[in-house]
Amino acid sequence: MPTEFSKKLAAHETPIPGVVLYDLPVHGDNRGWFKENWQREKMLALGLPDFRPVQNNISFNEKAGTTRGIHAEPWDKFISVATGRIFGAWVDLREGPTFGAVFTAELDPSQAIFIPRGVGNAFQTLEDNTAYTYLVNDHWSADAQGQYTFLNLADESSAITWPIPLDQAELSDKDKAHPRLQEVRPMQPKKVLVLGADGQLGKALREKFDGDSFVEFAGRREFDVTSDDAFARVNWKNYSTIINAAAFTSVDAAETAEGRAAAWRINVTAVARLAKCAVEQDLTLVHVSSDYVFDGVQEVHGEDEDLTPLGVYGQTKAAGDAVVSIVPRHYIVRTSWVIGEGNNFVKTMASLAERGISPSVVNDQTGRLSFTQDIAAGIKHLLDTKAEYGVYNLSNEGKPQSWADIAADVFELAGSKREAVTGVSTEEYFSGKTAAPRPLSSTLSLAKIKSTGFEPASSSNRLTEYLKNELIKP
């Protein structure tokens, strides 16, 4: 059968998620033919993942009937036929609901197919002198073979109808010995690593991903983001995503000599290491940012606003954002006024209310609270829905309030009088104190994250729940 010429470049979905069959334009004349076997720009425009191939392999097969597979490797593959013709069979061997799904097709040089990590690949040559090519996004090594998943070519549940019966085909002894589907251990997905897992947000992420065996959590003792050794100990090929919840967050301490050094070390230098790792290993990097990257002049801050930090803490967070933005697959999740497990403003105000103390609280800084359970839910949503990469503001919903307004709400919910809270200006509150400059407006626009289908919970409802569940206990 001759190669089909003059097809248009086209993509065709298959029953196996992520497996896509491509028609390739082949131009021929009396001398032979020419094709663009792999053209990144055009392929990406058709929806092919930017899988960053690093090695090209060719399997030459002298006789028709040569049959190889079914092998699922721990990397992605773009497969095509250089010369000849094959019958291809692909079986989903990944853990999940489509485990065991089968797709078959005949391929000549005018076609190619993308096979994601964990999908078994097999082929049978239909012509002599057939060359089968693989473009892969990891370097082959002997160690990697231990991560393969195999399926027997004659597996009854897959019921692949080979054009040349297997008892008449050329098979290797190894391929004949592979297990049936019921004996196959599915290839597990790559893992997510959560750093800073012992902080306020880290604890909320632990709760949100509880029961997911493919999410790992590391506090500072398990993974110190400032340590080169910590990075060297991890086999990053087993991971798809890093969620960075580690940060230096002591705003006022960052204005001291020691605090300034620590803030830059954790919020910038360590983040640069994470970004470098994400670029080199093709990982998704989720990084948590702050309203302090803005000077607070704008009443509401959008994701595209220029960074205008006032103090050292804000400067380090802005620098960290700039570093993360170079990672091809990144989410910068920008929050404000974070409340979670541990010491925070709400707990402090509730304690003062319980003790009958009437505080003076700043009334000219406005914004919204961000409860860690909702930040964690937003991060999971972005990952689960594969939202467009970039910057997303994420706080709770509701009318912007001042710190004094929130303190009065806490006092009222705790059974005290709102009037016990006295409002003062930022200048008055910090008079005679060493303190970092604060943005007067910390309100973040939530339109972008809402457009992905995520609806942040009401700040007032979360505050009521928080005080009821965490503080006002019988």
pTM over the 0.85 mark? yes
pLDDT of residue 474: 46
Helix axes 345-354, 403-413, angle to 10 degrees: 50
CATH number (domain holding residue 76): 2.60.120.10
Contact (CB, 8 A) for 42 and 130: no
The closest of 110, 199, 102 to 151, measured between CA atoms, is 102
Contact (CB, 8 A) for 243 and 377: no
- Residue 96, domain extent: 10-183
Work out the burial of residue 45: count CB atoms within 10 Å of its CB; fewer than 13 is exposed, 13-18 middle, 19 or more buried.
Answer: exposed
Matching residue, tokens 């892969």: 136
Residues 358 and 254 in one domain: yes
Matching residue, tokens 């005080």: 467
Q: Tell me, yes or no, whether 2 lies in a domain.
A: no
Residues 153 and 279 in one domain: no
Work out the burial of residue 37: count CB atoms within 10 Å of its CB; fewer than 13 is exposed, 13-18 middle, 19 or more buried.
Answer: middle
Residues 375 and 271 in one domain: yes
Q: List active site positions.
A: 71, 134
Residues 201 and 92 in one domain: no
Residues 113 and 211 in one domain: no
Residues 243 and 195 in one domain: yes
Helix axes 312-324, 257-264, angle to 10 degrees: 10
Domain end residue (candidates: 127, 162, 183): 183
Q: Tell me, yes or no, whether 120 lies in a domain.
A: yes
- Vertex 229 angle, CA 227 and 234, to 5°: 110
The closest of 283, 395, 278, 388 to 333, measured between CA atoms, is 395
Q: Tell me, yes or no, whether 169 lies in a domain.
A: yes
Residues 159 and 291 in one domain: no
At position 362, the amino acid (one-letter code) is: V
Mean pLDDT by 10 residues, the chain (474 residues): 73 96 89 89 92 93 95 95 96 96 96 96 96 92 76 96 96 95 94 96 96 93 94 92 96 95 97 96 96 96 96 97 97 97 93 95 96 97 96 97 97 94 94 90 97 96 90 50
How many domains would you assign to the chain?
2
Q: For the chain, how are helix, strand and coil distributed in percent, rounded to 5?
A: 30, 25, 45
User: Residue 57: enclosing H or E segment and its boundaries?
Assistant: strand 55-61
CATH number (domain holding residue 356): 3.40.50.720
d(CA 69, CA 466): 56
pLDDT of residue 400: 96
DSSP 294: S
